[in-house]
Amino acid sequence: MTVPNGHAATPASNPSSPSSNSISNAGVSLERSDFSSPLPPEKVKEFVAALEIPFDPAVIEWRVTNTSKSGNPLRGQVVPYADQRAYTDRLNTLFTPAGWTRRYQVHTSANFERSRDKKTVAKVLVTCELVIFGLGSHSATGEEWGDDDNAATSAEAQSFKRSASCFGLGRYLYFFAGQWVDLDKRKRPKKTPTLPPWATPDGWRRGLRPTPLNRAIPQSDAKNPAPTRAATNLPPARDLVRSIEQMHELLGSRLYGALLQSAKVRSARELPSRIALERMLAAMQNAARGVGRLKAAVDRVGKEPLARILKTLGLESVREIGTLQVLKEVVDALEAQTRQEPMAPRKRVP
């Protein structure tokens, strides 16, 4: 099933509208004639830079991803996110509604037994192709369990935001590892967490950027980073390449190679730009967090549940996991086991 977003049929669908002739944002403008042909490299850089600017803090919300097992007060780990309307507003501001479009393809997986509750259920998968006239197109897939009443809506929003991040829009949100805060009785943050300066439009325009160092600093120490590496320093491209290559051993050849293949390269040294290197490192670090969660779950429930989950996916070991989606399914299934089964003795995963 293919569903257009209804934002635009053709770039000239409303020739009498002043907003369809040009747009301006932070010194960036796009003429209507640019819709039909690729933009020159300098224009592409300008628009990518405008897309990468963080959202206004007023539209940022916080999602609880983990909660403490006990404690008073109750604490939870939260990460920031933006509603897909914030993404749409940014695209409309930069390109007008006639300057971009999106198309969805909806399909479902085969039914299989879900580990956490033993139900037989399928997943709803939605692929979004986002097209920005003059810049190109990117696509990404979102997913949700089929028995969720809002499965299609959730998967649609996820796929749209993921495809937008390929252009740089909202990509900075992937640099958050989460911070622990006090929760109220409804498991909501008692106080709105504070965004770091680099995650605000003003800080971003001043040159502040997230780096692998930012992600490694615990939130409690984030205000006092090592003085030898200021948050405004950007690591050289060779350091990004080295950081990516160091992920090989942690992720395993199959998952590491699949991530590189998604960018149509065989090594980090073949990535064509700094932006491509940063995106790949972010993807690798996201996968590394998933591997860390997997090991932590195995420490709690043991190796036998892991073997059963892998068997249902036709895998012999975690080294055969070849996509982030499969890694996520394994981690979700294992973590569901930790919530249902008694705590297993801690075991070290080789």
Same domain for 283 and 154, yes or no, is no
pLDDT at 70: 67
pLDDT at 4 over 60: no
pLDDT at 236: 60
CA distance from start to end of the chain: 44
Its sign, for the CA torsion 286, 289, 290, 291, is: positive
**Number of structural domains, the chain?**
2
**Cβ proximity of 30 and 134 under 8 Å:** yes
Same domain for 168 and 284, yes or no, is no
Last residue of a domain, one of 152, 174, 196: 174
Same domain for 132 and 241, yes or no, is no
Residues 114-128, mean pLDDT to the nearest whole number:
87
Same domain for 239 and 170, yes or no, is no
Q: What angle do CA 129, 159, 202 make, to 5 degrees?
A: 100
Residue 181 Cα distances to 39, 73, 193, 199, angstroms: 45, 10, 8, 18
pLDDT at 223: 37
What domain range is 17 assigned to?
1-62+80-174
| Res. 12 pLDDT band, cuts 50 70 90 | very low
Q: CATH no. for residue 6?
A: 3.30.390.80
pLDDT at 83 over 50: yes
Same domain for 280 and 143, yes or no, is no
pLDDT at 117: 82
CA-based R_g, the chain, Å: 22
H-helix or E-strand spanning residue 202: helix 201-205
Same domain for 119 and 264, yes or no, is no
Domain assignment of residue 192, yes or no:
no
Domain assignment of residue 195, yes or no:
no
pLDDT at 323 over 60: yes
Model's pTM, two decimal places?
0.54
